[in-house]
Amino acid sequence: MSARRRNLLEAFQNATHAPSGPSAPAPEGPRSEPPRPPRAPRAPGVPAVPPWLLAVVALALVFALGFALGRSTGGKVEAASDGAAQTTRRPATPAPRPVTPAPAPENTEPPRIEESALFDVRNKYTVIVITYDNGAAGQDYAWATYRHLQDQGQPVFPPVVSGKNLLVLVGAAPTSGELENTESAVRALVRDGKKPYEKAYRARIDKLITRNTQGN
């Protein structure tokens, strides 16, 4: 054996029996993760529902339920309010008004003057308001004056004939002094913007008309 081959053999043997050096660190494998809890198996063909979609559906159901309850309660309150309003707004029954009597027609028969205070023999004085001629025109004027004084609340008598005149008389009393206020009130009356009775005066009744004094 040649020297060259011997050297190669020794070198091979030395390399084979030489102590091994520090070994290179082995590459780290994938780290193990903690075991996850097992999931419930899904039914075949049913897709998984995201959690946010479930939350939206729940909110929608709560809103719809609240809206329905609110409308139902509001309708009851509104109906109650309408009933209270109708009860409150019911108009009260108006009080009956006094019936004003219709004015008597002009052709109504006047009261009997013989039954008035003018023919009571205890009364001695009266007030002569105005004197008219005892004709057709005078009678119309006398009755018009009678109605006017009656409307003014004066104690007027129907026109009476005194000689050739037609008299409109107001009031009757035992003394002249008792008719002073009546005379002043008649003189102050205004008719058609004038005072047509300014010359009214007191006079004795027995000088104007004839009264039945039998039994008195």
Structural domains in the chain, CATH included, are: 113-206 (3.30.70)
Q: What's at 68, amino acid-wise?
A: A
**pLDDT for the residue numbered 143:** 96
pLDDT in tens, 186-214: 999 999 999 999 999 999 999 999 987 65
Q: Give the C-alpha separation, 172 to 123, whole Å.
A: 6
A 10 A CB-CB count for 138 gives 16
Question: Which of 46-55, 73-82, 109-118, 165-174 has the largest mean confidence?
Answer: 165-174
Average pLDDT value over all residues in the chain: 74
> Residue 65: its pLDDT value, please?
75
The residue ranking higher by pLDDT, 93 or 187, is: 187
Cα 130 from Cα 142, distance rounded (Å): 8
pTM across the whole model? 0.48
**Confidence check: pLDDT of 78 > 90:** no
